[in-house]
Amino acid sequence: MMSRAVARASNVLIRAAVMVLAGLPAACRREPVPEPVQTPPTVEAVRPAAPAPKPVPEPLKPLEQFVSQRIVFQSPVFYEPTFSPYDFDNAAKVKTLIGPYTLTATFYDARMEKVETASKPGRYAAVVEIKHGEGRASRRFVTLCRLAGEGRPEGRADVTDPVVLKAGGVDEQVLADFATETDRPRFSRNASPAMREMMGAILAAGLMDRTQLKAEGKPVPKDSVMQLDRQWWVDFKRRFYGCDKIYPDPFVCPKPVEGEPAPVVHEGTLAQAGMKPDAHETIDAACETWAKQEMIGFSLCVVRHGVIVVNKAYGKQAGNLADGGAHKDDPYTPDTAAPMASMAKFLGGLLFMEFVDQGLIDPDESVDKYVPALRGIEVKRPMTVRDCYLHIAGFNAGVGDFNNDLEEMVADVYPVMEVGVTHRYHGGGLALGGKVMEMMSGECFPRLIREHLLDPLGCSSIQTPGTSGGGGATAIDLVKIGQMTLSGGVYGNLRFFRPETLAKAMPIPGHDRWDPPDKTIRWGVGIKQFDIDGLSERAFGHPGASGTCLVVDPKYDLVIAMTRFEEGGSFKAFLKKKSVMYKAILDSIEDK
């Protein structure tokens, strides 16, 4: 079970995921707020020049709009053996996008066997085939759930109501355990009643799964109820696409290594870290000034030569919106788990390199080698796996990790995707990479990254529900990941990947690995070049919109992690203050 503190930090991503499921775009990172224009003190005020207009977002193509349209069942949570009618939530809109269409559903029970009716309470699933025009048929995957009894108790309309769930056969202890979880459906204001019912079916199915496991005396996985649904679909799709035959062996990583262990994050002296005697005072002064001036707290952890130089928090938890902002005045501590936002892309990229290291994935192969749904589709330029991570695969639609049918959605839009043309920061490519890893390993992404990266490193605070953002972390746990990366994929006596594999993921200083190169954009596989603020040109890491960031600088054998709930009112001011903090850290290096 995830802790309440960490789970609260992942709520932002969960809300965004539900918006995607509802056909709405997830929130994007905001643009820097420009400083106010100062009018010079002259007799006649000089009118400031009009700001340059922001670029107008490219309108979505019809197929890009189509993939955001969700299929809904009249009764996704039901009590009779018969499955209910189904159609798109906005059928009229779909017809304007793709023309006339027909839908045909094939139903499956919890054991993934085809069925005509729901013979008993529990999880069910539908694979809905969408035929339109003369092209390939589309598919969508839908979770359904039959509850026990004859209907919902009188006056109880909400399927997520514990009274409804208990009356429908969910075990009382299962409900009690679930009451402490925060990973549950959250709805945007614009979500239709039908979409709310569809999300409720996912919750009900997961609770029925737990009830069944408990009845059989089997252990309940660590996964949240919502993650259980993702895992069920991973298991189903491996059979559906034949990936269970192609990748029958379990994924094993990390692996033990012999010889001298690599550095692990540990306590030590400033001298052992190669830092000046007044390093603590210098770094503290910069951080305390920043926290007081901006009234926004944060946690900082600095590690050099594997030795913890600083692991300290400053200020209060301003920006913490959990529980209605009840904690915003609480002191920030080193144990405070704050949102990672897009910094989670770094973690997902490292997990991806584990598969590259074992020869399971070639980053420069066409994605359709690994995604059966994308085969046989005529495109201008095939998408490579690396394209997905460099944000040049042409993703522009609202798709992501929480779409169990993501591969099918990408297949629908693939013919109109402009691969390798424009750098567009979008999580869809990383989510597709995540689906590739799921099909190979048989583990849903949250379970996969927990078992093969986070738990082996002892990163108990980190929860990563998606490949592109969200989840929470403490700074001390982030530096463990940074230290492993700094050591070329080894931490202690555990090897996650080899140094030459990590080299394949790194940005090339000054340009991207795509044609034509853009010198202003420097991305690797979940990694961004960080040759700024006095850091070396070899420095790399990833930032997040919350202000959380992780930096690794091989030249100085240095790892820096900062966690926080928000950047502050001015992004430009945030960057200046962060630069001052980095300077204090770098100026404190003795043997620089």
Residue 242 has pLDDT above 70, yes or no: yes
> Is 461 contained in some domain?
yes
Query: Between 591 and 389, where is the model more confident?
Result: 389
Residue 13 has pLDDT above 60, yes or no: no
Domain boundary among 241, 262, 296: 241
> Is 416 contained in some domain?
yes
**Ordered alpha helix ranges (H), 223-310:** 225-241, 243-246, 279-294
Q: How many domains does the chain have?
A: 3
Q: How much is the pLDDT for 33? A: 31
Domain that holds residue 78: 69-241
> Is 278 contained in some domain?
yes
200 shares its domain with 277: no
> Is 355 contained in some domain?
yes
pLDDT tens digits, residue range 162-207?
999 999 999 999 999 999 887 877 666 777 889 899 999 999 999 9
β-strands 298-304, 255-256 pairing: unpaired
539 shares its domain with 572: no
Residue 589 has pLDDT above 80, yes or no: yes
pLDDT tens digits, residue range 473-509?
999 999 999 999 999 999 999 999 999 999 999 886 5
Q: Which of 479, 495, 562 is nearest to 307 (CA)?
A: 479
163 shares its domain with 223: yes
**Domain CATH code at residue 518:** 3.40.710.10
421 shares its domain with 293: no
404 shares its domain with 496: yes
> Average pLDDT of 55-76?
87
Q: How much is the pLDDT for 256? A: 97
> Is 16 contained in some domain?
no
Distance CA 21, CA 70 (A): 7
Domain boundary among 188, 220, 241: 241
520 shares its domain with 538: yes
411 shares its domain with 528: yes
Please, which residues have CB within 8 angstroms of residue 49's CB and are 6 or more apart in sequence? none
Burial of 82 (0-12, 13-18, 19+ CB in 10 A): exposed
> Is 506 contained in some domain?
yes
516 shares its domain with 574: no
159 shares its domain with 302: no
182 shares its domain with 300: no
540 shares its domain with 409: yes
Residue 69 has pLDDT above 70, yes or no: yes
> Is 207 contained in some domain?
yes
> Is 50 contained in some domain?
no
377 shares its domain with 445: yes
